Every structure is written in structure tokens, then in C-alpha cells.
Structure 1
Amino acid sequence: MGTLPVDEHDIAAVTARLAGVGAESVTLAAVDYAWGSPATAGLWRAEVAHAPTPPARSFVKLLRHPRLWPRLELIPEGPPRDFFLTTFPWRFELDMALSGIAGVLPDGMRMPQLRHHEHFDDDHICLWSELVDERTGPWSTDELGRAAYLLGRLAARRHEGAEVNEQLPEICRQLPRGAALRYLVEGRVLVGASAELADDDLWAHPAMMQAVATTGDHDLRGDLLAMLDLALPVLAELDRLPQTFAHGDASVQNILICDGEDDLVVIDWGFGSLLAVGFDLGQLLVGPMHAGLTPASEIRAIDAVIFPAYLEGLADEGYAVGADDVRFGYLGSLFARSVFTALPSDELASSTVTGDELALLTLERVRLTRAMLDLTAPVIKARLGFPAPTRVEGPR
């Protein structure tokens, strides 16, 4: 079966069929989304008027094969693109939902109910799930600590060799340890971010010059380029640590607080390979900052809460692993994944964000980049046996 165009009319027709009503009774509201995932083709909230049986509301997600990703040109042609197109797990969210992962979650976490999935063609699968009432706004430090504790328990349950891992999608068991993080680092970081950081135009942009002047952080560019050489040694060291199957993208956008319930709702599983214990803490730490919900100045206060909470979660599941190993798994993964990609390169190179908004975004991302570098660099240097960095604490 060949690829067919899939649009809102197709989504509405299936929604109506599932509800036993006519298509005119279905209202779809597109969900605003930062379209970074190659697999996500669309998100909607579906409302069904006069539905004979509940539920009347669903969250709808359209998955697509990465060959249809509008930004495919970012992947170089030849072997890199061929590898991407043949290995990217574009239907991973569905596979995880069908794997029984909901039964592995510790008390206090749950998955939204998957109500239906539809294969439109070989390149499109659509998911209809429970529409949860997500609470918006910042998380408290205590809430982040609770999430870290539960992520620790989840990681312990899914440690390398655990019987529950036999239920995971086949791709998870095929990939070597650290493969998902290594793929991101070798492409997005060592190719993409490396070129961006070396680009004089990025640093000469008025918003970037203003941010550097405001913070006084004139060493940031040089420090980033110097530390970039440690990305591959960090990956090698991460692969030697105890491994677990993590959530993979445990930001506050994917671990949801919902009105009227105590459980955290887990969505959008990512990074299907084994990863170093502690991996999920990196996204839990900086996800709120990427989303503009929490200032970079809070990074150490949050770190001081989520790290011991995660250790407690591991211990409560009886998973014995050294705190130093967990610390490096956490901060080494954060270093490799996020330190070099936080600057708003796309926004600075385009006109999607302008004026005061761009200036504020750039200023906060400069602060976030420095905060992550200051947090991770001493741990990286010590673990790899390098002399202590000449500069650890940057401007605030």
C-alpha cells in the first residue's frame, strides 16, 4: 500500500466512526507543538458532540515515517540519511503502549489509556488516547523531587537484564547500550552544534552580543568549544556505567501533573536503547528551563533535590549502584545531550522570534548554557582524569 495524504478530514472521520456519530459532530483543535520530532505529524484535541457513549474527548496524535519529515534535509544524504530512514523508531510510542509498559510503572505514575490506533497507510499511524487535564505552569521543587524519585524506581525496575525488559519493543533489545544518545551526539552535537558554535555570525548577532555583554560571559564560546572535545570520551565512560531503560525524555512536557489526580501521567517515551543510570535526571532538570517555566538560576537548587530523590527511588527498589556512578550518568548525559545545543541557533538565524522576545530568549539560554557547563564540567573533568578546569563558575 502506498503513501496517501492524511489530513484532518481523515482524523475526523475515524473519530466519528469510533464515537458512532457523523463527522459533523467532531471538532478538532490543533495543539501547538514545537515540531522537533521527525515522527510527529500532528496533534489534536478531539471533541465529539452528542456522543452516544463516553468518552467525548480524545487526544489524537498522527505519526509518520521519517521519510516524510519536512526537515529531512538536515540529515546529510548518503549513509547518514539511509541509516536514519531505516532505523529511526517512528512508531515507538505505539509500540511502547502495546508493550505493557503501563504495568511496570511504580505507584504514582500511570499512562494515558490508548483507545484506538489506525494504520492509514505504510507511512502513517494515528493514535487516539485519553485526554488528560494537564495542569499548566511551573513545577515546584518538591514536585520535581517526587518525579525524580519515581523515575529512580522506574529505572531500577528496568535495569539491564531485568525480566520486564523482555516485553519491550524489539528495537530496544537490538540496540547496543548508549546507542540512542550516541546517535544524537555524533550528529546533532558534533556536527550541527559544533558548526554553530564555530560560526562567527551566531556570536555577532545583536541579540547574542547583548546577552554576552549583559552576563559578562565573554569566555562562553571558548569554553564550549574546548569542552566539546570531551563529548566522545564522556559517551565511552557512560557506556561503562550500570545501564537501565530510561523514560528517555523525562521533561515536564512528558511527565504531566494533571488536575484532580495524584498520579503523574507519563507520555512520549524516547531513546529506546539502554542508557546510563541517572540519564532521566538531565531532562527533568533542564526541561522546565527549555520551556521557559523556570529560570536557569534555579539549576543548583533543583539539582540538590532531584539527585538524592532519584537515589532514594533506586534504593527503594533494591537496586544497588554507587552514588558517584549515578551522578556521572546524570551529569555526563546532560553534558553530552544538552550543554552544546541550548543556545537558540535556529531562532537567531531566522525571523520566527524577533525583538525583545528574541533578546530575552537568548539571554536566558546563555545563562542556561553557562549554568549547565558549570554544573557538569567539574564532574566530567574529575571522572575523565583531566586537570580541574580553570573556570568552573561563570557569571550569573
Structure 2
Amino acid sequence: MTDVGVTDPVRLDDAALASLLGADRVVERRTEEVAYDLETITTQARWWVSGRVERDGVTEDFRVVAKVLRSADRSPVWAFVPPEGHADLLEMLDWRVEPRVYASDLAAHLPPDLAMPRCLGVTPLDEGSAVVWLEAVTGVLATWTDDDLARSARALGRLAGSSAVAAVADRVGHPYGPVMARRYWQGRLSMQFGTAYRDAALWHHPVLAAEVDDAARRRLLGLLDAAPGLVAEIEALPLLSAHGDACPNNLLLTPASVVAIDWAFFARLPLGFDLTQLVVSEIELGRTPAATLARRQAVALPAYADGLAAEGLTVDADALLRAHRVLAALTAGVAAVPLERLDEDPRTLAPVVRERLVLLDGLLTPLGL
């Protein structure tokens, strides 16, 4: 299917934009694409739309974000998805969830230390795409401190423990939430990583042959064997509200609150789900050393538990740690070898693989794997 979505939301005429902004008229407007270095299959583009509007005779500046969302099968990446995975992936990456969440009353029910951009409106483009118009939020771009990590973990804990948020999740959240771990394992993890790890040819790659010894390969294969049991353990955990993709890229730190963006996977998800992305994603992206895993866990888990307690939900610390470890092993552990980067220069790839192996050890050793 070809991409028939817009390439620029300026197709919204000035009168419609003025109405969206609650203004009398648009005096001046500019559109600039937002630079974003991570590929998202259901996001076609993000744009800054800014300028000046007139409201009650007064001219003032405005700046908003226009996020163009599209069905996954309109992405160029779709060509690389095996046909047998099409149906499941379209359901898991349901582009309609995020507009539905932004258009809901979720913002009114978030805990005091967590916020989301105000949605100005959703503009349908066709049956497979839409533009979500959001207020512009400026967050701190500096490297996170332990205090930032703790602050975000506590906010996510309060999100998880909130009964008001749970009611919204039940209405507009991703329907895959309760079975997300199983579907993720059966789909991307099993089909991509499971197939690759069991193919002897993979380990002949010069960097992998040099960096991944027999013991590490056996651990990865053992993890694949253990995965169905880990999935079953995850599915037995309590279902709480979760952002669903709580990496620091999606958490903007402002003086007043943590502002969470990209709500495409908001749902009822297993206890501790958001901790996995919060703790591990910066290591996977190479922004912080794998050796910091234990410290990041020591900071984030108690803060998350404090957030749960603030909403009246007390969780045993050992049970929370176990849930986090199992979730992290199933996701970041199985995806330890950076298959998508094997074409890179060996001088760049080798240190990435070494760091991923340190992470793998930190994830599997506490589980006895």
C-alpha cells in the first residue's frame, strides 16, 4: 500500500488553524519538520507549526506540534516485514490508539507530577492517517541525573497505581495490553531474533565471531528456551496502567512535572512494565554504559514503588524486582544482539556488541540464566 498521507500539515487552511487555536485569524505561519533520530513505523512526520495569530484584537505568537500518524503498512519499513507477520503487526502497531488517547480525558486524571501535552484537536486525513495537534512542550535536554530518573520512576508509579487512570485505560487504551508480552514474543522477538540466533550463519559475522563466545551464544539460546515460561510469568502479574513506551526520549522534564509524549501503547500492562524502558533504553541506545544497570535499577525501582504507594497500592519490593527482571530479560535480553546494525563499520559495531553483552549478563545472571 502506498503512503497517501500528507507530507506537510499546512494543508489545513488558515481558517481551520485559527479555529483549532481558538483565535480569530492567522496572521503569519511557518512550518518546520521536527528532527527525530528514532524510526517510528506509525509516525510519518512531526512538524513545528508556529507564527502569529490575532485574538480579540491582540496579536500574539503561537507554536504547536502537528504529528502525522499513519497505518503501519504505509511505512517504507513495511516492505521488510514478513507477510506472515502483517496481521499481528497491524494490530500491535494500531496507529489509531494515540489519537484516541490524546482526544480522551486522560490528561485530567493524571497524577500531579505527570502531564501530557494538551491536545488541540485531531484532523483525519483519510481512513489510514490523521494529524494530532498538540501544544508545544519544551523539556530539559541535558543528560539525566539520578534525581531525574527517580522523579520519572515515581511519576510512572503513580500512573500505574491510579484507579482514575485505569478507568481511562480500560476505555481508550491499547487492547493488546494484557497480551502484549506474548504477542511481542511471538512476533518480533521470536520471528526475528529467535530465527537469527538459531542460524549458525549469523555467528560467522566477523564482529560477532570475535566478540560473542560460545558461552554467550549458549546463554542466548537458553533464553529463547526459557522465553515461554517468562511470558507465562509476566501474564500472571497484576495489570496496571502504563504509558507503554516510557523511555527518556518520551519523558520531557519540566520544572512543574514530567511530561510524557507518544502515548501509542498506553494500556493496562503488567506490573513494572514502564520500568523496563525507563531503566534499559538508554543503555540499549548507547547513551549510558551497561555497567550502570544495577545503579539505575537501585534508583528507579524504589521510586516507582513510592509512586504506587502514593496511590494506595503497596507492592512487595522483591516481587517488583522479579517482575522487572523478567520483563527486561524477555525484551532487552532477547534483543541483545543489534541485528539491525550488523552492516555498520566493525570499528563502530564491536564496542556496541561488547556493551550489549555486558547488559545481557546483568539481565540474565540474577535470573539464573
Tell me the TM-score normalized by structure 1.
0.81
Q: Partner residue of 2:128? A: 123
Structure 1 residue aligned with 2:221: 225
Whether the aligned pair in 2 keeps the contact of 1:340 and 1:369 (CA below 8 Å) is no
Shift of 1:344: 2.0
- Counterpart in 2 of 1:384? none
Instruction: Give structure 2 stretches of 5+ with no counterpart.
Output: 19-24
Instruction: Report Cα offsets for 1:11-41 as digits up to 9, x if no partner.
Output: 123274414447x842322423321x33111
Matched, 1:6 2:2: no
Q: What is the Cα deviation at residue 302 of structure 1?
A: 1.0
The residue number in structure 1 matching 2:205 is 205
376 and 104 in structure 1: CA distance in 2 versus 1, 3 angstrom threshold: farther
Counterparts of 1:63-142 in structure 2, within 5 Å, are: 63-78=69-84, 80-85=85-90, 88-142=93-147
Say yes or no: does 1:43 pair with 2:34. Answer: no
Distance 1:129 1:172, change over 3 A: closer
CA separation in 1, counterparts of 2:81 and 2:195? 14
Deviations 1:343-391 (A, max 9, x none): 221121x4xx4364x33xx423432343244334423x4xxxxxxx5xx
Amino acid of the structure 2 residue aligned with 1:125: A
Gaps of 5+ in 1: 382-388, 390-396
**Secondary structure, counterpart of 1:188 in structure 2:** helix
**Which sits farther off after the overlay, 182-191 or 193-202?**
193-202
> Is the Cα–Cα contact under 8 Å of residues 15 and 26 in structure 1 kept in the other structure?
no
Q: Distance in 1 between matches of 2:177 and 2:151?
A: 30
Counterpart code for 1:122: E
Task: Give aligned-pair identity as a percent.
Answer: 28
Distance change (3 Å), C-alpha of 1:200 and 1:262: farther
Q: Distance in 1 between matches of 2:299 and 2:261?
A: 23
Contact 1:239/1:275 (CA < 8 Å) preserved in 2?
A: no
Separation (CA, whole Å) in 2 of partners of 1:302 and 1:366: 19
Q: What is the CA–CA distance in structure 2 between the aligned matches of 1:376 and 1:15, rounded to whole Å?
A: 54
Per the TM alignment, residue 275 of structure 1 is displaced from its structure 2 partner at its CA by 2.1
After superposition, what is the alpha-carbon deviation per residue over 1:128-175, rounded to whole angstroms, capped at 9, x for unaligned? 212222222321112101111111111111xxxx45433336464854
Separation of aligned partners in 2, 1:235 and 1:279: 13
Q: Which amino acid aligns with 1:28?
A: E
**Distance of aligned partners of 1:365 and 1:253 in 2 relative to their CA distance in 1, 3 Å threshold:** farther
Which digits, 9 at most, give the CA deviation of each residue in 1:228-248, with x for residues without a partner? 111110111111122212111
How far residue 296 of structure 1 moved from its aligned partner, in angstroms, is 1.1
Match of 1:297 in 2: 291
Deviation at residue 87 of structure 1 after TM alignment = 5.9
Relative to the length of structure 2, the TM-score reads 0.87
Secondary structure of 2:249's partner? coil
Can you list the C-alpha shifts for 1:157-195, whole angstroms capped at 9, x where unaligned? 1xxxx4543333646485472x12221111111111112
Structure-2 separation of matches of 1:151 and 1:4? 35
Secondary structure at 2:32's aligned position in 1?
strand
Match of 2:31 in 1: 27
Structure 1 residue identity aligned to 2:46:
L
User: After superposition, where does 1:165-244 map in structure 2 within 5 Å?
Assistant: 165-168=166-169, 170=171, 172=173, 174-175=175-176, 177=178, 179-209=179-209, 211-212=211-212, 219-244=215-240
Aligned-partner Cα distance in 1 for 2:197–2:2: 39
Matched, 1:60 2:66: yes
Deviations 1:71-108 (A, max 9, x none): 22444325x42343356421211111122221222222
Deviation at 1:277, TM superposition (A): 0.9
Asked if the contact 1:335–1:373 (Cα under 8 Å) also holds between the matched residues in 2, the reply is: no
What is the CA–CA distance in structure 2 between the aligned matches of 1:3 and 1:220, rounded to whole Å?
42
**Given residue 7 of structure 1, which amino acid in structure 2 is its aligned partner?**
V
Find the aligned partners of 1:110 and 1:116 in 2 and give their Cα distance.
17
Which residue pairs with 2:316 in the alignment?
Answer: 322
CA contact (8 A) 1:238 1:276 kept: yes
Structure 1 CA distance for aligned equivalents of residues 351 and 169 of structure 2 = 41
Q: Per the alignment, do residues 138 and 219 of structure 1 end up closer, same or farther by CA in structure 2, a change over 3 Å counting? A: farther
Residues 241, 325 of structure 1: 8 Å contact kept: no
Distance 1:41-1:285 versus aligned 2 partners, 3 A rule: same
Q: CA RMSD in A?
A: 2.7
2:22 is aligned to none
CA contact (8 A) 1:148 1:306 kept: yes
